[in-house]
Structure 1
């Protein structure tokens, strides 16, 4: 795959303006601007990512997928934070669309690229739940809870929660 050429300054300015619109609550206007940019620069992964995100914000998950997929295909050109966002955006979008296996695959790849990430772990657990992998989903959530919770009650039982996360089906004999 050939590297995507850098965006000209004018295109970067338009991209940043559209992102500010989305962040400011003007998602529809942002989406329109991003679609225009995407038509001009269809291979740019950052524009594709931001266009997918704008569609997601508007509840247009089905329309977001091709943009996220295009962004993922060029993810090596993205910075770490944007790559993370692509994995999370595409994986969670697949999940909400009922494309559970694709969600699991995408979110697992995200965790390979971003080990230990809490958001990816949670969305992967939801996708695993949807595929019927309840044990794996619950174990991942318990491990994350034991590791990251600041709740005093959880903190007091952190070791036990982490232990059970390893083997939820463990039953101790009484003798």
Structure 2
């Protein structure tokens, strides 16, 4: 079988073509049209992580975080996402939990994501925000200070990198 469902064949496009079209529509700003295509595709391919991720993403771009949530969960539950898309789905899920006020879920998701992708600065930044929301301000500041020290192109910050890294370990240190 070629992977084209009857509904896809009737529409004249298969899963891959429909998904590519929906992504192009989202990227060009036609998000509602993309959403309609992705919801239909998601119904036909409920266990497809790529379809689930793109469906979640389009909902996020429309400010429909509650509707995005189950699609993100499905996207990361099933294997098959590229490494880049898995990172994006984990970030999207953690961020969505945070936006919805589900702070413990956001922290847990983003901690796991940072453990899986320790060099991803965006994941660490969103983890710091979720930690802040749960009152873990010390941990949030530590993450952000280390991130700034390691990644800032600002020569003034680079000149103070050792001091910033020192204080990140002990924010209450005086020397």
Q: TM-score, normalised by structure 1?
A: 0.91
Q: Which moved further from structure 2: 6-15 or 17-26?
A: 6-15
Q: Cα offset for 1:171?
A: 3.1
Aligned to 1:166: 169
Residue 111 (structure 1) aligned with residue 114 (structure 2): yes
Residue 49 (structure 1) aligned with residue 49 (structure 2): no
Task: Give the one of 154, 158, 175 matched to 1:155.
Answer: 158
When the two structures are aligned, how many residues end up with a matched partner? 166
* Distance (Å, rounded) in 1 between the aligned partners of 2:115 and 2:141: 19
Aligned to 1:3: none
* Distance (Å, rounded) in 2 between the aligned partners of 1:113 and 1:82: 13
Aligned to 1:28: 32
* Distance (Å, rounded) in 2 between the aligned partners of 1:16 and 1:93: 24
Coordinate RMSD, CA, aligned? 1.3
Aligned to 2:7: none
1:74-112 CA-partner distances (Å, limit 9, x unpaired) = 1x3111001001100000000011000000011111111
Residue ranges of structure 1 left out of the alignment (5+ in a row): 1-5
Q: Post-superposition, which runs of at least 4 consecutive aligned residues in structure 1 deviate over 3 A?
A: 6-9
1:3-27 CA-partner distances (Å, limit 9, x unpaired) = xxx9548101100110111011111
Task: Give the one of 59, 80, 83 matched to 1:80.
Answer: 83
Q: TM-score, normalised by structure 2?
A: 0.91
Aligned to 1:10: 14
